Amino acid sequence: MSPKHILLIVIVLAIVYTAYDSAFIVGERERVVVVQLGEIIGQDYDPGLHFKVPYVQKVRSFERRVMTFTEEIERVLTSENKNLAVDFYVKWRIRDTVDYYLSTQGDEQRTRSLLTEIVENDLLAEFSKRTIRQAVGDERNEIVAAVQVQANQDAREVGVEITDVRIMRLDLPEEVSESVYERMRSERQEVIRTLRAQGDAAAQEIRSDAERERTIIRATAYSQAQTIRGEGDARAAEIYAEAYQENPTFYSFYRSLELYRNSLGSDDLLLLRPQGELFRYFNPKASDSAPQP
């Protein structure tokens, strides 16, 4: 290849690169500034094709969309000198491209560090005005609203707008949580002991009432039984008297049998003469042939 051909190729390549470096395209999701020797000479171009001076001017592009990051504060001191751990997230976007570039050089990580410091300082200030109960309760939304307003004012200096700040989690530090949980367990145990003592007292009272009622019922039943037994004995005596009046001889014989049965055991032997008075009731013939008095 001749020197003329090489020179021609170099010239063509230089023209192509110059033409390429003279134009830039802005997307709908981008913010663009044109920098010449460290000085911004153009900003906020509309989406589409634009031109610049090649080699001298440089294009820097940034996100137009809302961006999000999350952070954690390990210790936040409340008004009662209690520590809290706070997780939060921040949504932000570029408000002024020139201020943003001058403050951060377009470094997103540096911007995140600046915004984290701003939001953390505002959160610490708001939590220091409130107790744990207030921070966890109804005033949590007030804290977020106040932080967003104050953080937005501070973020304007770096050309950034904070669109939202939210607290994702509020928690006690681990060592504090253990002591809190232990105190809660102790309180629950005390409540359990109190309830158990009240239950035992109620059970003892119920048992006493039941025992007293049982005693009264048994006494009433015994009294009724004695009355019924007395009435039964009286009726039995009346029946015995009526039976005696009907047949005194048989009644005397029956009483003799009862006396023998109660006096003699099963192994005792009793011998009686057949002509005795006892057998007269079992031997009709002997009764008939017996001499009349």
Tens of pLDDT, residue by residue over 98-107, are 888 888 888 8
Q: Are residues 57 and 122 in the same domain?
A: no
Residue 177 lies in a domain: no
Distance CA 275, CA 264 (A): 22
Distance CA 245, CA 239 (A): 10
Residue 151 lies in a domain: yes
Residue 38 domain boundaries: 3-63
Question: What's the pLDDT band for 174 if we cut at 50, 70, 90?
Answer: low
Q: Are residues 71 and 157 in the same domain?
A: yes
Q: Are residues 104 and 159 in the same domain?
A: yes
Buried b or exposed e, range 151-176, using 16+ CB within 10 angstroms: bbebbeebbbebeebebeebebbeee
Residue 162 lies in a domain: yes
Q: Are residues 43 and 102 in the same domain?
A: no
pTM for this model (two decimals): 0.53
Model pLDDT for residues 49-74, shown as the tens digit of each residue: 878 888 777 888 888 889 999 998 88
Q: Are residues 27 and 84 in the same domain?
A: no
Residue 81 lies in a domain: yes
How many domains does the chain divide into? 2
Q: Would you give the distance in Å from CA 221 to the centre of its chain? A: 54
Q: Are residues 94 and 154 in the same domain?
A: yes
Residue 74 lies in a domain: yes
